[in-house]
Amino acid sequence: MKPEVYIDADACPVRDEVFRVAERLGLIVHVVSNGARGIRLPEVDWVKRVIVSEGADIADDWIAEHIAEHDVCVTADIPLASRCLAKGARALKHNGTVWTTDNIGGALAGRAVAEHLRSTGATTRGPAPMQGSDKSRFLSALETELQAAIRAKESPPVSLWRPIEW
């Protein structure tokens, strides 16, 4: 069984890149959005359109509920990435940043600080605009994460337990 890919699609600038890699690897891609924008998708059976109702975090909730261990989520949403990691899935941002258990805590804390500052009227910097190098970094990270997920999903778990022989 192969991993599946979940795209938090409403603001994802790298859908086409995901489609190309997923097609080559024979993976299913779930494109999750609230349907507010007309997202054009390839008409193939391995791309699954998921339209959820409008509302804050509805698409995130759907992804977090359906993603499984070793699946891969493409999202810029830090709390969603954290929820995916908690389920044993992998997560990466459209600029090639790979979310891990080592960096997600700091990202969540930074997000909380920025939210607090905005609530007090301060202006915070939004995400940097997408650069050409971001797409190549994303493609490299996506390939690495998907290959690792495929290996992990296809190999049986290794048990270190051995009976003691007397």
Predicted confidence (pLDDT) per residue in 12-39, tens digit: 899 999 999 999 999 999 999 987 567 8
49, β-bridge pairs? 31
Whether 72 and 89 have beta carbons less than 8 Å apart is answered as yes
Residue 160 inside a domain? The answer is no
| 164 located within any domain | no
Lowest mean pLDDT among 17-26, 36-45, 71-80, 147-156: 36-45
Q: What pTM did the predictor assign? A: 0.81
Give CA separation, 46 vs 38, 56, 86, 126, 136, in Å: 19, 27, 26, 34, 24
Domain that holds residue 134: 5-154
Q: What domain count does the chain have?
A: 1
* Residue 162 forms part of a structural domain: no
Where residue 82 sits, what CATH number does that domain have? Answer: 3.40.50
In a domain, 159, yes or no: no
- Our CA angle for 118, 78, 17, nearest 5°, is 120
- Residue 166 included in any domain: no
Helices (H), 53-131: 58-66, 78-86, 104-119
8 DSSP β-pair partners:
32
Q: What is the dihedral of CA 83, 25, 135, 149, to 10 degrees?
A: 30
pLDDT digits (tens, 9 = 90+) for 96-115: 999 888 877 655 566 555 56
Domain membership flag for residue 163:
no
